[in-house]
Amino acid sequence: MARWGMVIDLDKCTGCQSCSVACKAENNVPYGSPDEHKKRTAPFWHKVIAVSRGQYPTLGIDLIPMPCMHCDDAPCVTVCPARATYRREDGIVIQNFRRCIGCKYCIVACPYGVRSFNYKEPEEKEYHRPDLPPERADRGIWPFPTRVHGVVEKCTFCFHRIDQATREGKKVGVEVVPACAEACPARAISFGDLDDPDSAVAHLLATRQWLRLRENMGTSPKVFYLPR
């Protein structure tokens, strides 16, 4: 079984936010007004944060694209009372919107703040969830179950692309990658099988220094960063 992971080269990242936009477009993530963004009620599956160190003349800025880290030992999976969040065999942490009761415990428990709650009825109702059964009221847009307010959602590593590619026999990581990796103009994001020693991600991790966010939490995330 593959173990999907992502390697983000911080040296190449220019902070253009293409990945965030591509993620919103691909997964039809609901938008929010600037006001809602400021109040932190707009959902984001992917974000790019800017981290500054030092004062003006000697100032360094790191740009960190942050999808879900798909931790091997994910706190959100541990705390979810309804089994709405679970870890697939290939390591992807999935949120099942049908089971989610909206208690927000996973938002509290996530060390990376990658989970968002649907605070209002979204206009963007469709999303790629071939794993969930369709809803009767939505025969028109089958196979996409509708999105409702009051549930938690998060990055899925574009698992619909991966699953389809596996079914069609395409090479994941070369021909098919998640939307953020595909959209990156600097090719800073690579995606692939961490267990396969011949994959591009395994090469990068073997040849370069890497770091993971908040290692002290012991979550062993599967998103790796190559420092500048």
Size of the site for another protein (CB under 8 A): 55
Q: Site map for another protein, 85-104, x if CB under 8 A?
A: --------------xxxxxx
In angstroms, give the least distance from the CB of 26 to another protein: 21
Chosen residue from 70, 115, 128, 147 binding another protein by CB under 8 A: 115
Query: Whole-angstrom Cα distance, residue 184 to residue 22?
Result: 9
Q: Regarding beta strands 93-95 and 189-193, do their DSSP bridges make them parallel or antiparallel, or are they unpaired?
A: unpaired
- Near another protein in 157-196, by CB under 8 A: none
- Near another protein in 33-62, by CB under 8 A: 36-41, 43, 47, 49-53, 60-62
Give the nearer residue to another protein in terms of CB position, either 36 or 182.
36
In angstroms, give the least distance from the CB of 53 to another protein: 4
In angstroms, give the least distance from the CB of 104 to another protein: 4
Asked if residues 222 and 71 have their Cβ atoms less than 8 Å apart, the reply is yes
In whole angstroms, how far apart are CA 121 and each of 65, 155, 181, 194? 27, 19, 29, 38
Give the nearer residue to another protein in terms of CB position, either 105 or 172.
105
Give the nearer residue to another protein in terms of CB position, either 170 or 212.
212
Positions in the binding site for another protein (CB under 8 A): 36-41, 43, 47, 49-53, 60-62, 64, 66, 75, 77-83, 99-105, 107-113, 115-121, 148-152, 213-214, 217
